[in-house]
Amino acid sequence: MKELNSTELRQERTIVALLAEPSIEAAAKTAEVSDVTIWRWMKQPEFRSKLRDARRAVVEGAIGRLQAAATEAVDTLRRSLTCGIPSVEVRAATVILDQAIRAVELFDLAERVEHLEARLGDVAQEARP
């Protein structure tokens, strides 16, 4: 494993701070670098790429947590269907139906895109000499 130099360590610390703090100024304070330094680093493609990758990892982690909670959410909706309060039951039924319809639409759209991509690939192969 490559050992990081002083600048790389400061940049890594800054990326963590940028993910945690609400502003560049606050991140600079946390990372113990100047905000001017962060602005300068933000102009560097490699630093921006590392920051983008770190942000993506945070979002992917959050999505994983949402997916894990989805089962509980569905269970809650199912319980709400028979809770004895008509307005809650109707709302739960509406949400379930809306989401089921959206899921079917999404699957249909994905299938259509897949079909179009396959056709486009066939056309591209036919066009090759």
Tokens standing for residue 76: 């809650």
**6/66 same-domain check:** yes
Name residues whose C-beta falls within 8 Å of residue 20's C-beta, 6 or more positions apart in sequence: 27, 30
Domain that holds residue 106: 84-129
Is the same domain home to 33 and 89?
Answer: no
pLDDT (tens digit per residue) in 57-68: 999 999 999 888
Is the same domain home to 24 and 69? Answer: yes
Residues 53, 5, single domain; the answer is: yes
**Can you tell me whether residue 60 is helix, strand or coil?**
helix
Same domain, residue pair 6 and 65? yes
97 and 66 in a common domain: no
Same domain as 59, residue 104: no
Looking at residue 1, its pLDDT comes to 58
Are both 15 and 74 inside the same structural domain?
yes
Regarding whether 50 and 9 lie in a shared domain, the answer is yes
Split into its structural domains, the chain has a count of 2
Q: Are 4 and 67 within one domain? A: yes
Residues 40 and 90 in one domain: no
* Residue 7 sits in the same domain as residue 69: yes
Other beta carbons within 10 Å of 88: 14
Residue 81: both structure tokens together: 């269907």
Average pLDDT value for residue range 107-114:
96
pLDDT tens by residue, 111-122: 999 999 999 988
Residue 2: pLDDT band with limits 50, 70, 90 = low
For the packed helices 35-42 and 6-20, what is the interaxial angle rounded to 10 degrees? Answer: 100
